[in-house]
Structure 1
């Protein structure tokens, strides 16, 4: 059948050339010069008498679980027995000075030195003692100190002035936080490592609840009533919170943005407000930003 095909198609069915011969990479059994291979019957008895002293190594997953259990156990001990047995600020030899004149400074840069604190806090009054808390448990600590200090003033009025004014200042390009010494002044006070404290970062705390759903926010305003919104009687009048803004209905063009007022913005009175949102259609004036 293929003999009737034209030459152009016959080339497609032409056989391939034979493979090139390559000499074998191994030697023939009779030409090998390696030692002769014998059986293992002579070692069977030794295998029966072998005393297995092998101890299996710990896998990475077992190590991870063990370390987690150790951390959880240490944390539980600090919360229960450690607080009773270890936390004794009135008996600590490193704690010196009147607690009512002592200022606690935290979130310090690890490059901060005593002279930096003396320069910043010396303007509030004479200082009796500055203690940068160091790591005494680690044999070779990587950091000079733990990032917090205690400053003892000679007068309690100077400490109060520093407490009111120094919170949030920058030392070594890092914003610090100040507080009174609570270990000797507040009864049953617990540091953070013992399950208490006021510290922590924003990512270690639960986020505030947000308004859920896709409907209008509750309270006056919104989409369906109060002062402004879509009330079904003439268009969009007053934005989300009411007021004199909005277009439609009462006429006068779009003069208030979404928050009322004459000059727009989401909060009224010009621009977006930085106050915390209370989830009920407005801003809560009573809420303050967290200090910790």
Structure 2
């Protein structure tokens, strides 16, 4: 720029410095405490956060313990079920598991109707009222728990005539008692050799779907037994 003429050098001359201004004082309307509080850093409260973290950790540990206990109980039930299937005689807990040794069982097995999946508030009088439509009944036995006396959800109806039992077996299929569909079957414990209940690996299978013709064999068993 030293080669420029004076009239152009004036364009590059620095501006004069800014005039000095006295710094403003504090606002007289603002209290001193509020001013100091505004300038002071706000403390961070971590105690509630730490307490929540501890609670979440305790919940996770509790869930893990509960899941582990559930897995152990399920494995134990599976182990007992397999042992019961392998050797049912070791896991018989009541006389009803061995019908031949049950002193409360009486009557002709070929005249006995099995009624399962009963509501627990059904009484023997209710069973008589439902099943005496098919013929005279000799005896009704509602199986109960030996310790508590509560119903175990199944019963045996002994008819005086075998044909009445067969009629009830055929016609009572799909019967509902107190709003619940019950299971109708013949007494297999004393009529079918080697029969085991469902909880010991036997039974009629699932609770939802039944195989077609699954109930034809019991009546054929009765007919073959009565011919001999």
TM-score where L is the length of structure 1: 0.46
**Runs of at least 5 residues in structure 2 that lack an aligned partner in the other structure:** 1-17, 19-33, 41-63, 216-228
Q: Is it true that 1:125 corresponds to 2:135 in the alignment?
A: yes
Q: SS where residue 179 of structure 1 aligns? A: strand
Paired with 1:128 and 1:201, the residues of 2 have a C-alpha distance of: 29
Paired with 1:61 and 1:107, the residues of 2 have a C-alpha distance of: 31
Question: Where does residue 181 of structure 1 map in the other structure?
Answer: 187
Paired with 1:84 and 1:158, the residues of 2 have a C-alpha distance of: 37
Question: Where does residue 67 of structure 1 map in the other structure?
Answer: 73
Higher relative contact order, chain-length normalized (CA < 8 Å, sep 6+): 2
Paired with 1:290 and 1:202, the residues of 2 have a C-alpha distance of: 14
Paired with 1:200 and 1:67, the residues of 2 have a C-alpha distance of: 23
Q: SS where residue 149 of structure 1 aligns? A: strand
Paired with 2:208 and 2:131, the residues of 1 have a C-alpha distance of: 27
Paired with 1:89 and 1:17, the residues of 2 have a C-alpha distance of: 93
Question: Where does residue 163 of structure 2 map in the other structure?
Answer: 157
1:99 to 70, 90, 109: 109
Q: SS where residue 133 of structure 1 aligns? A: strand
1:191 to 193, 197, 221: 197
Note closer, same or farther for the CA distance 1:63–1:152 as it changes in structure 2 (3 Å cut).
same
Deviations 1:189-234 (A, max 9, x none): 121011011043238x9xxxxxxxxxxxxxxxxxxxxxxxxxxxxx
Q: SS where residue 160 of structure 1 aligns? A: helix
**Runs of at least 5 residues in structure 1 that lack an aligned partner in the other structure:** 5-15, 23-57, 206-286
Cα offset, 1:83, TM superposition: 4.1
Q: RMSD over aligned Cα, in angstroms?
A: 3.3
Q: Is contact 2:99-2:189 (8 Å) kept?
A: yes
Paired with 1:84 and 1:19, the residues of 2 have a C-alpha distance of: 80
Q: Is contact 1:107-1:176 (8 Å) kept?
A: yes
Deviations 1:166-204 (A, max 9, x none): 11122212222211111111112121011011043238x
Question: Where does residue 231 of structure 1 map in the other structure?
Answer: none
Q: Is contact 1:83-1:194 (8 Å) kept?
A: no
* Structure with higher strand content: 2
The number of residue pairs the alignment matches comes to 156
Deviations 1:52-84 (A, max 9, x none): xxxxxx943443333223212221222122247
TM-score where L is the length of structure 2: 0.58
Q: SS where residue 87 of structure 2 aligns? A: helix
Note closer, same or farther for the CA distance 1:61–1:151 as it changes in structure 2 (3 Å cut).
same
* Structure with higher helix content: 2
